[in-house]
Amino acid sequence: MPTGVDAYWLRLGTTMLMYGVLAMSWNFIGGMAGYPSFASAAFFGLGAYAGAVAQKYGLPMVVAWSLAGAVAALFAAALGFALLRLRGHYFAIASLVVAEVLREIVNSATNLTGGGMGLNIPVPQMASIADQARFFYYAMLGVAVLAFGAVLVTQRSRLGFGLRCIQQNESAADMLGVNTTLYKVNAFILSGVFVGVAGAVYASWVHYIEPPDVFDVLYSIKPIVMVLLGGAGTLFGPLIGAALFLSLEELVWRNYLSVHTGVLGLLIVLLVLFLPKGILAFRLRRT
Q: What is the CA radius of gyration of the chain?
A: 19
Tell me how far apart the alpha carbons of residues 175 and 83 are, in angstroms, rounded to a whole number: 21
Asked if 188 and 32 touch (Cβ cutoff 8 Å), the reply is no
Whichever of 12 and 281 has its CB closer to other proteins, that residue is 281
Give least dist CB 223 to other proteins, A: 22
Give least dist CB 37 to other proteins, A: 20
Give least dist CB 284 to other proteins, A: 11
- Residues recorded for the chain: 287
CA pseudo-torsion sign 90, 95, 97, 98: positive
Whichever of 120 and 168 has its CB closer to other proteins, that residue is 168
Closest CA to 28 of 147, 171, 140: 147
Give least dist CB 180 to other proteins, A: 9
Whichever of 174 and 216 has its CB closer to other proteins, that residue is 174
Whichever of 95 and 180 has its CB closer to other proteins, that residue is 180
CA 278 to each of CA 116, 129, 200, 268: distance values in angstroms, whole numbers, following the listed order:
39, 38, 30, 11
Binding positions for other proteins, rule: CB under 8 A: 158, 161-162, 164-165, 168-169, 171-179
Which are the contacts of 72, defined by CB distance < 8 A and separation ≥ 6? 43, 46, 47, 50, 192, 193, 195, 196, 197, 199
CA 78 to each of CA 51, 74, 84, 180, 186: distance values in angstroms, whole numbers, following the listed order:
20, 6, 10, 16, 11
Give least dist CB 32 to other proteins, A: 12
Give least dist CB 172 to other proteins, A: 4
Whichever of 69 and 231 has its CB closer to other proteins, that residue is 231
Whichever of 144 and 232 has its CB closer to other proteins, that residue is 232
